[in-house]
Amino acid sequence: MATKRDDQIVETATEARQAEPGPSVLALLAISTGLAVLILGVVWFVFFRT
């Protein structure tokens, strides 16, 4: 619970976000980058191979 100290509200990081931490941003970035590379590789293989 938030406390008041010297006219300032002191909260934990979770309280300040008003939510529990969600999925890892690093995992989301890695998966989306991997999918983008895979899709671009398929497009290159289908359209630009000689």
Residue 47 lies in a domain: yes
Q: Which two tokens stand for residue 24?
A: 């890892």
Does 15 reside within a domain? no
Asked, for residue 20, whether it belongs to a domain, the answer is: no
Write down the pLDDT at residue 7: 85
Q: What is the pLDDT of residues 17-28, one digit of tens each?
A: 776 667 788 899
Number of domains in the chain: 1
Q: What is the pLDDT of residues 2-46, one digit of tens each?
A: 788 888 889 887 778 776 667 788 899 999 999 999 999 999 999
* Token output for 36: 């983008």
Could you list the residue range(s) of the whole structural domain that residue 40 is in? 25-50
Instruction: Please enumerate in sequence order all residues whose Cβ is within 8 A of that of 9, keeping only pairs 6 or more positions apart, or say none.
Output: 2, 3
pLDDT at 32: 96
